[in-house]
């Protein structure tokens, strides 16, 4: 492989899995159709041929069993990477993730850990039926003992997935569906992980802080370009690790700009945007020059097919929110 090939996000997920499996024989992957078919989005294509059926396991259509088996494997010393086909199918697995994976270290007073990764596509954008387009990351972020990670580019998918697999505790790794093949960038398959638990400042600015993550990063960066043409310099922060959130980076940015807009695809009520707003209200209130604004999905089930675009936060909505806080008197 070339030192730095142009790869899609789903391609770097495959690269990271392949790299982790080659470097560590305790890493196994499992899930529905992930072996012979390479997964519903082909994220695991070729891994069965490379590593064999003992390490690439096709499972029944049983999400609770997938998660439970992964917890058992992790407790026994393996590093399972379990795939759930869509985030809307993850709910049967919640019992195992919430009651066992997240608690294993505490329950055993550190004698056991649970080094597993639960991967699942998240979000709208492929015009799928219901249960295929949800962004319920806040469910997992609420659970003590879990890390929740969501990449927003091919390079960050590669580095963050490697870090998640190497982490000694359970990580929920959410892969934005509409970014899977939306862009290519040069990513060196060098085995270098990116740090967990930190935000990435994607664009420097002085007038307003735009905090976002996952697929919404795409529209947020486009909005920042439009704002720049109007003379408004927006700082764009990719949270990346939703739990635990890197408070310092967000607070330092808001202290500089005095204004905050939080953008996420998930429904607004009780979404992670509320947590970001609360952090700034508790620890940076006196630096604010305007009220905090959230731009989020609507409090409805994600509409079917052609109406998805009306649900996902648009570039225009982000631009209008930023204008509002900058012009606040």
Could you give the residue numbers annotated as active site?
A: 132
Angle among Cα 58, 62, 64 to the nearest 5 degrees reads 115
Alpha helices per DSSP H over 24-130: 47-51, 63-75, 94-99, 104-107
Among 44, 32, 14, which Cα is nearest to 89's?
Answer: 32
H or E element at residue 273: helix 272-283
Among 188, 216, 139, which Cα is nearest to 4's?
Answer: 188
Handedness of CA 305, 184, 44, 155 (dihedral sign): negative
| Gap between the Cα atoms of 121 and 314, Å rounded | 20
| Gap between the Cα atoms of 219 and 212, Å rounded | 10
β-sheet with 260-267: strand ranges across: 200-203, 234-238, 208-212, 260-267, 293-297
| Gap between the Cα atoms of 208 and 328, Å rounded | 12
Contacts of 108 (CB under 8 A, 6+ apart): none
250, two tokens: 């967000």
Do the Cβ atoms of 315 and 222 come closer than 8 Å?
yes
């Amino acid at each position: 492989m070339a030192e730095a090939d142009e790869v899609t996000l789903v391609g770097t997920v495959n690269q990271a899995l392949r790299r982790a499996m080659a470097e560590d024989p305790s890493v196994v992957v499992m899930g529905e159709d992930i072996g012979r078919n390479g997964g519903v989005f082909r994220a695991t294509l070729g891994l069965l041929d490379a590593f064999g059926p003992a390490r690439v396991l096709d499972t029944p259509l049983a999400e609770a069993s997938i998660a439970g088996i992964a917890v058992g494997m992790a407790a026994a010393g393996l590093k399972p990477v379990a795939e759930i086909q869509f985030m809307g199918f993850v709910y049967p697995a919640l019992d195992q993730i919430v009651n066992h994976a997240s608690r294993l270290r505490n329950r055993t007073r550190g004698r056991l850990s649970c080094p597993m990764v639960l991967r699942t596509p998240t979000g709208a954008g492929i015009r799928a039926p219901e249960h295929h387009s949800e962004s319920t990351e806040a469910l997992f972020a609420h659970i003590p003992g879990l890390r929740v990670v969501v990449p927003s580019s091919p390079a960050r998918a590669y580095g963050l997935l490697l870090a998640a697999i190497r982490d000694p505790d359970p990580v929920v790794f959410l892969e934005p569906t509409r970014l899977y093949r939306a862009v290519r960038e040069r990513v060196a398959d060098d085995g270098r992980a990116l740090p967990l638990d930190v935000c990435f400042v994607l664009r420097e600015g002085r007038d307003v802080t735009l905090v976002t993550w996952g697929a919404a990063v795409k529209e947020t960066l486009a909005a920042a370009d439009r704002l720049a043409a109007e003379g408004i310099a927006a700082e764009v922060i990719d949270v990346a690790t939703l739990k635990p959130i890197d408070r310092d980076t967000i607070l330092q940015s808001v202290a500089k700009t005095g204004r905050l807009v939080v953008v996420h695809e998930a429904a607004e009520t009780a979404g992670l945007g509320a947590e970001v707003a609360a952090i700034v209200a508790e620890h940076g209130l006196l630096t604010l020059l305007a009220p905090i604004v959230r731009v989020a999905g609507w409090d409805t089930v994600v509409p079917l097919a052609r109406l998805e675009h009306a649900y996902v936060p648009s570039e225009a909505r982000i631009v209008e929110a930023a204008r509002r806080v900058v012009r606040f008197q």
